[in-house]
Amino acid sequence: MHAALRYLWHWLTAVNEHSLHSPFIYNLYTRGIKKEPAHEDFNIIEKFREKLINSDKIIEVEQLGAESKVSHELNRPVSVIAKKGMTPARNSHLLYNIIRYFDYKNIIELGTSFGINTLYLATNTQVKVTTFEGCYNTSKIAQDIFDELNYENIDLIFGNIDKTLPEFLKYYPDKIDMAYIDANHTLEATLSYFDLLLPFCSKTSLIIIDDIYWSPDMTRAWKTLISHPKVSTSVDLYQFGMIFFNPDLEKREFTLMF
């Protein structure tokens, strides 16, 4: 009910390029968000999505975060997880577009799942993706796909993200261009991940929060984050929330059609 009501509100308040007066947001919207991507690798990636959807395999899932809306059982069919839990191809294409629009190179992903979004993030071989997953059996499927496709620019880190992320960041030498948070869908975890990543963000960095209306907790997390003093502009696409840190941009929240 929460997600449905928020979708209705988003539909009533979202605007398109004709209502945008910010050059930064206008260009992002018309050249990045709304751009129709075309890449031969998409067909390969989507074949793996179809294989997962049609899989007859059953795996034991480690429930580390918020309770799943897909199933309460720990032993779950891969096909059910793939159908109900994976990001739709349209949203994966958006992630692909954003990376190319900003020419991002260093990407952090929290929540690998079966790795379909990870493949979209890493399609450009100049991009380095470090992705974190807490469920062993899920991460094993993702790693097998990465290996089969020879994606050598992906590092998958397995383990409880609450522990593996801070340990990884202790030795991380670079700034993060983009972080995509699609892991533990709780208020506390989302805010914690943001706080851990923030010191590694620059004025050109972007943090994307997935499922910002998945639950009242996630919506509270989103509202808390966009009011953070280091956040300048934010973009609400309903499925995703985009957070920018450039102090040259006005402190403003945009709700856009997608």
SS3 letters for the chain?
Answer: CHHHHHHHHHHHHCECHHHCCCHHHHHHHHHHHCCCCCCCHHHHHHHHHHHHHCCCCEEECCCCCCCCCCCCCCEEEHHHHHHHHCCCHHHHHHHHHHHHHHCCCEEEEECCCCCHHHHHHCCCCCCEEEEEECCHHHHHHHHHHHHHCCCCCEEEEECCHHHHHHHHHCCCCCCEEEEEECCCCCHHHHHHHHHHHHHHEEEEEEEEEECCCCCHHHHHHHHHHHCCCCCCEEEECCCEEEEECCCCCCCEEEEECC
Give the CA radius of gyration of the chain: 18
Q: Average pLDDT, whole number, for the chain?
A: 94
Residue 37 or residue 239, greater confidence? 239
pLDDT in tens, 164-173: 999 999 999 8
What does the pLDDT read at residue 71? 54
pLDDT at 70: 55
Residue 212 has pLDDT above 60, yes or no: yes
Among 63-72, 103-112, 145-154, 225-234, name the one with the lowest average pLDDT.
Answer: 63-72
pLDDT digits (tens, 9 = 90+) for 27-84: 999 999 998 877 888 999 999 999 999 999 999 998 765 555 555 677 999 999 999 8
What pLDDT is stored for residue 111 in this prediction?
96
pLDDT at 135: 93
> What is residue 39's predicted lDDT score, i.e. its pLDDT?
81
- % of residues, the chain, pLDDT over 90: 88
131 contacts: CB under 8 Å, gap ≥ 6: 108, 109, 110, 112, 115, 118, 121, 142, 154, 155, 156, 157
pLDDT higher than threshold 80 for residue 145: yes
pLDDT over threshold 80, residue 152: yes
Q: Which pLDDT belongs to residue 173?
A: 86
8 A C-beta contact, residue 184 and residue 65? yes
| Residue 254: how many other CB atoms lie within 10 Å | 19
CA distance 117 to 172: 22
How high is the pLDDT of residue 66? 55
Closest CA to 227 of 188, 191, 201: 191
CA distance 198 to 64: 23
Residue 23 has pLDDT above 90, yes or no: yes
Sign of CA dihedral 186, 192, 195, 198: negative
**Which residue's entry shows tokens 């997880």?**
81
Give pLDDT, residue 41: 80
Amino acid 68: pLDDT: 53
Please give the pLDDT value at position 162: 96
Residue 126 has pLDDT above 70, yes or no: yes
- Judging by DSSP bridges, how do beta strands 233-236 and 240-244 pair with one another? antiparallel
Predicted structure pTM score? 0.93
